[in-house]
Amino acid sequence: MSPKPYVRLDKDNAAVLLVDHQTGLLSLVRDIDPDKFKNNVLALADMAEYFKLPTILTTSFETGPNGPLVPELKAKFPTAPYIARPGQINAWDNEDFVKAVKATGKKQLIVAGVVTEVCVAFPVLSALAEGFEVFVIADASGTFNSMTPQAAWSRMEQAGAQLMTWFGAACELHRDWRNDIEGLGTLFSNHIPDYRNLINSYTTLTAGK
């Protein structure tokens, strides 16, 4: 297989899709520690806010066992498009969701959700089929066990999706530390305890300069 060219995330051409991060579905996540998973989801949300990326929220059958959207996401994006799908399992089968995605005018989609092999994989595959560049945030997407996401990741990668972490995505979007040392450092410090030590050391060393 010939290598594909490096396509990097561009903060001016990217939108974030948060798919089915619902209270009921989160209880199914077993491939990542629950506390770490919640932290990763909120880190991705903070990343979207920091880079001012258009963000779309969607839920699946939230009046049923899947439950409502995680309240922190609704609070963080009070004016973002919020698509409560009445029954469609694949978010891309919902006309309002697709309209909201296309209305952003962005070609790159950063996607995360629960569960990985369904709520993430299905819209990712659908978006790729329509010509979008798709970046899946693996550590903000969760599912039943450690084996299950492997099949989903393989399927999405073969279709052209790129797998990333929220930290990797943030670094690629930022490009250069000199763009905003304090802002990026705060984002990392809020979600990576060990990184807080680095930033504290840096601020201490530079305080007198």
Count CA within 13 A, CB hemisphere, residue 120: 35
Task: Please tell me which residue in 16, 69, 73, 119 is annotated as part of the active site.
Answer: 119
Residue 119 falls in the annotated catalytic set? yes
Burial (CB count within 10 angstroms: exposed 0-12, middle 13-18, buried 19+), residue 143: buried
CA–CA gap between residue 207 and residue 46 (Å, rounded) = 26
- Please list the active-site residues: 119
